[in-house]
Amino acid sequence: MSGAALCVVLQVFISVVSTQSSPRQLNTETILINVTAGTLTDTQLQDSNNLQINFNISVGEEQVLINDVPVELSGVTRFTCQALLLDSNNGSSEFESGDMVSTVTRVMVNQNRLYSSSEEVVALQVFSEVIEMEGKEVQQPEMCEVKILMSPDYQKLAQFTNIYPIGHSEIFRVPRENDVVVTDPPNRQKNEDQLISQTTSQYPLKHTETTQEETAAPGKLPETPLRMDPDLLYHVRYDDKFDDQESSQQDHIQIKTPPKELISSYSCLA
């Protein structure tokens, strides 16, 4: 094989490998789910808590992540997540309305493609069941099912919520021993704090000068050791170039504004 042909083969091979290894960008949507969970005694719910759970759902071709946790389609994934306590009927609870509490939640996601004569949509069903709150077992009597219609490139078209007894839900019929248990889910808040810490640590700090001037006697050196200008120690340049660099770094860490939702032209039947 000639050198030119070998070079072409290597270039094609490298191109194929880089294409396969590059991750595909997932579209992320945020949904809020309000649920009630408490202790069930004689078919009556005691010590109930109204919770709001924030799910960030990243969707791709046969791939779904919830709060950065990969979930198995049509299966149940169990992981810990934070929930906002809206209000509580538990008089002995140490938490108040507005507090964040830790929960263990079972999540199930179904993904299907629906076809019409001229268009195609992706239907996403999200089921969630809170089974623990702050280490205590709880029960959720009602299911808050969220349905999302998306375009083929996973842009949200419409969203619907359906509430019904949890005993009629698909997730309730899956035995808990079959759950995929995630023991160490990603900590989104910790990652954001690390990003801010790493970014701010790159800026040089200029210390305040506190040493007092000393006037020496004629023909003698001052007793206080000679000092160096702090600007020389840190090599800080306060000019337009530095300001432009600082501005670009601050723009880099700003959170992007999510795109506006698209309006669906589909008629959905309950």
CA–CA separation, 143 vs 36, rounded Å?
Answer: 9
pLDDT-derived band at 194 (thresholds 50, 70, 90) equals very low
More confidently predicted of 78 and 119: 78
pLDDT at residue 26 in the model: 81
Residue listed under structure tokens 């089974």: 131
pLDDT at residue 39 in the model: 85
Q: Are 70 and 63 in contact (CB under 8 A)?
A: yes
| pLDDT tops 60 at residue 223 | no
Query: Which of 61-70, 85-94, 196-205 is the most confident on average?
Result: 61-70
CA–CA separation, 51 vs 188, rounded Å?
Answer: 20
Chain segment 103-136, per-residue pLDDT in tens: 999 999 999 999 988 889 999 999 999 999 999 9
Chain segment 149-167, per-residue pLDDT in tens: 999 999 999 999 999 999 9
Q: Chain-wide mean pLDDT for the chain?
A: 74
Task: Look up residue 76 and give its amino acid.
Answer: V
Task: Look up residue 179 and give its amino acid.
Answer: D
CA–CA separation, 118 vs 209, rounded Å?
Answer: 73
pLDDT at residue 187 in the model: 62
The pLDDT of 79-99, averaged and rounded, is: 87
pLDDT-derived band at 94 (thresholds 50, 70, 90) equals confident
Q: 83: which strand partners?
A: 53, 101
Q: 65: which strand partners?
A: 58, 70
Element (H, E) at 8: helix 3-21
| pLDDT tops 80 at residue 54 | yes
Residues in the chain, total: 270
pLDDT at residue 150 in the model: 94
Tokens of 44: 């009556």
Domain edges within the chain: 24-108+126-144+160-192
